[in-house]
Amino acid sequence: MGRAGEGTKNSFMALYLSEGHVVFALGADRKRLRLRSKERYHDGKWHTVRAGLCENGLSVLK
């Protein structure tokens, strides 16, 4: 998905599926956060997931 934070070494932001769960992960400077959906999305249908960072924290839209 892309890099988080300009000038921060080893920073990352990722959105992926793991065993049907949507996972949003980010990290910077040895700190990591991973959010996983309660629901599973392996029903053969298309789904839209949006995730992003806001100034005051994390905003995830489904």
Tens-place pLDDT, residues 2-25: 444 555 677 888 999 999 999 999
Q: How far apart are CA 30 and CA 9, in angstroms?
A: 10
Q: How confident is the model at residue 62, as a pLDDT?
A: 45
- In one-letter notation, the amino acid at residue 35 is L
How is the chain split into domains, by residue range? 12-61
Please state whether beta strands 31-36 and 50-54 pair in parallel, antiparallel, or not at all (unpaired). Answer: unpaired
Q: Could you read off the pLDDT of 22-60 as tens digits, one per residue?
A: 999 988 888 899 999 999 998 899 999 877 666 566 665
Overall residue count recorded for the chain in this entry: 62
pTM for the structure as a whole: 0.65
